[in-house]
Amino acid sequence: MIKSNRPRIYSKYEINCIVFLYTMVLFVPLILVFTYVFNIEYTFDLNILLLALLAIDVFITLIGVIFLRIKRDTLKRNVKINYQNEFYYLVIISVFGLLGFIVLYQYFFGITEYIPSIFVLLLVIFVYTLIKLGQKYFNLRYQRKI
Amino acid sequence: MRKPSVSDETLNRILKYLGILLLGFGVILLAIQFSDFWSWILNAIKAVIIPLSLAYIGALILYPLIKYLEKKGIGPRGFSLGLVFILAVGLIFSAFYFFTPLIIEEIKNFFADDFPVIVDYINNDLREEFILGTDIYDRIYNYISETNVIADTVDQFVPNLIKAVSSALLPILTSVAILPILLIFYLNDYEVINERLRAIVPKKHEKNAAELGSRLNKTVGAYLRGQLLLMIVLGAVATIVYKIIGLKYYFLFGFLVGVTNIIPYFGLIIAAVPPIIYTFIATSGPGPLLVLLVNVVLQFFEGNIFQPLIMSHQLSIHPIVIIISILFFGSLFGPLGVIFASPIAASIRVIYQFFRDLRKEIEQNKLNEAKGS
């Protein structure tokens, strides 16, 4: 008999969907954080840059979703015990995404005094999201030593 | 009759080891007598071993990519190798192309804007703000001016540095020139070369040697790839954070974080010192406490998130082992020893684990045989 408390193992389709959509949500801050280092905001108009990035983001998301739908059956047949590498990828882009949101805040509001508070708030949100995602979908056991 | 406390077998073994030790000392003593000859031979070996080791490290980093492409049906080997090689060379060149002007610009700005301020601070304001008091400052100042200690040190240091750089320049240039060619040939015939190397090992130990070799390649390769990724990620994060807090030379200091991160544990501490000193002296920008806090947070993230995630738990080596290996190999081989201390420690760990597993396997086999009979 199958134990009821056994964790459900998700297929590559679900995992790829999560990874792809997560990346797309963080796409604008991710690009922005790197352009910020190279002072791109002095070369382009920031509003136009942001609009262009959003348009690219939506375009890539649409193509990606269509691609995922096409590959759905093949990906549904692929299953792994856990998705450690995919989760590591999420953690790394989350770090840059978090910094990207701070850059975004700095561009729009420019009040540096609140940056530490926003950083802590975003950190808590990101950590909570990642822990929940890792537990539910990526099948990671944080307490167990690998 | 009383049983002897040491058996004949143990005694024989001790005598054998003592003989080997004595012979070893004899060989070393004899070798010392011909030091010129050995230094000649060693230099020749060094000229070969440095580019070869670099090619091996490069192959460990690039080979999985080639294998991945081949698995995806992108082949034959020449084509996948060409793709990976062009990608790697392109990445290295574009990094140089984009980052070098930025770093040079920041160094130039530092010497143009801040260096005179620092010199002025040391000459005029440091006395008043000296942490141990003006009396001790005057004593140190008088000692320096009377003994000419700084001028003498600089006089000794500069010619030595020029000599060391000029003597190391030719081998470095040769290695850099030979490396791509060596790497191409090595990656092209990766399996064949490994097979030939395995063929040197006597038949009796071939299986074990192959297993050990494969484990070493896997572990050291993973370690090197992880370390490279860690350097890039941490360097990028540090650069962004330094810019967010308004540190002036954020690119230079962030680059320093990335480069020094090649030395585990000490790297981030070494990289934190220049920006903290700079913020002490700088009239504008963030205070030293904020920079210190940023570095502490970075150290925390590096140790608790990036390092375990990127390096994975399988490669984790105890911090004490890493620190000891940094000290030992650093004193043995200098800066190169410090850089390669962790992969060497990882290799030693793999070798140790391999022999432990082998011994367990032999013991298990013996037990099974005994049970069977």
Min CA distance, B237 vs chain A (Å)?
A: 7
The proportion of chain A whose per-residue pLDDT surpasses 70, expressed as a percent, equals: 91
pLDDT on residue A3? 55
Q: Where are the domains of chain B?
A: 47-200, 206-356
Three-state SS for A11?
Answer: strand
pLDDT on residue A34? 86
pLDDT in tens, B184-212: 888 888 888 888 887 888 888 888 888 88
Closest CB to A91: pick one of B251, B309, B313: B309
Neighbouring CB atoms inside 10 A of A73's CB total: 9
Interface residue B153 vs chain A (CB under 8 A): no
Q: Nearest-CA neighbor of A98 among A134, A127, A135?
A: A127
E strand or H helix at A36: helix A27-37
Chain A residues with CB under 8 Å of B246 CB are 112
Q: What is the rounded average pLDDT for all residues in chain B? A: 83
- Please tell me the total count of domains within chain A: 1
pLDDT on residue B246? 86
pLDDT on residue A146? 44
A125 part of a folded domain: yes
Q: CB of A137 within 8 A of CB of A101?
A: no
Closest CB to A33: pick one of B233, B240, B301: B240
Closest CB to B243: pick one of A37, A145, A146: A37
pLDDT on residue B57? 84
Inter-CA distances, B213 with A53, B198, B200, B222, Å: 48, 9, 13, 14
A142 part of a folded domain: no
Mean pLDDT of A7-26: 89
DSSP string for residues in B273-340: HHHHHHHHH-SSS--HHHHHHHHHHHHHHIIIIIHHHHHTGGG---HHHHHHHHHHHHHHHTHHHHHT
pLDDT(B149) > 80: no
pLDDT in tens, B231-268: 888 899 999 999 888 888 888 899 999 888 888 778 88
Write phi, then psi, for B20 (nearest 5 degrees). Answer: -60, -45
Alpha-helix runs per DSSP H in B189-205: 190-200
Q: CB of B350 within 8 A of CB of B215?
A: yes
pLDDT on residue B318? 75
Q: B318: left (phi > 0), else alpha (psi -120 to 50), else beta?
A: beta
Inter-CA distances, B283 with A40, A143, B59, B117, B276, Å: 27, 47, 48, 9, 13
Domain that holds residue A59: 12-136
A19 part of a folded domain: yes
Q: Residue B3 — pLDDT band, cuts 50, 70, 90?
A: low
Q: Residue A60 — pLDDT band, cuts 50, 70, 90?
A: very high
Closest CB to B240: pick one of A37, A91, A146: A37
The partner residues of A11 in beta bridges, in order of sequence, read A79
Name the one residue in this structure whose structure tokens are 């490290």.
Answer: B57
Taking an 8 Å cut-off on Cβ atoms, the answer to whether B243 and A36 are in contact is yes
pLDDT(A125) > 90: yes
CA atoms within 13 A on the CB side of B287: 3
Taking an 8 Å cut-off on Cβ atoms, the answer to whether B309 and A33 are in contact is no
A7 part of a folded domain: no
pLDDT in tens, B215-233: 888 888 888 888 888 888 8
Min CA distance, B251 vs chain A (Å)?
A: 8
Mean pLDDT of A49-71: 93
pLDDT on residue B363? 86
Mean pLDDT of B350-363: 87
Name the one residue in this structure whose structure tokens are 């013991």.
Answer: B363
Furthest-apart CA pair in chain A: how many Å? Answer: 65
Alpha carbon distance B183, B308 (integer Å): 30
Q: CB of A139 within 8 A of CB of A87?
A: no
Write phi, then psi, for A11 (nearest 5 degrees). Answer: -80, 170
A interface with B, Cβ–Cβ < 8 A, is 33-34, 36-38, 84, 88, 91-92, 95-96, 99, 102-103, 106, 112, 115, 145-146
Alpha-helix runs per DSSP H in chain B: 8-33, 35-71, 77-109, 115-120, 126-129, 134-147, 149-188, 190-200, 206-244, 250-260, 266-281, 288-301, 307-311, 319-333, 335-339, 341-372
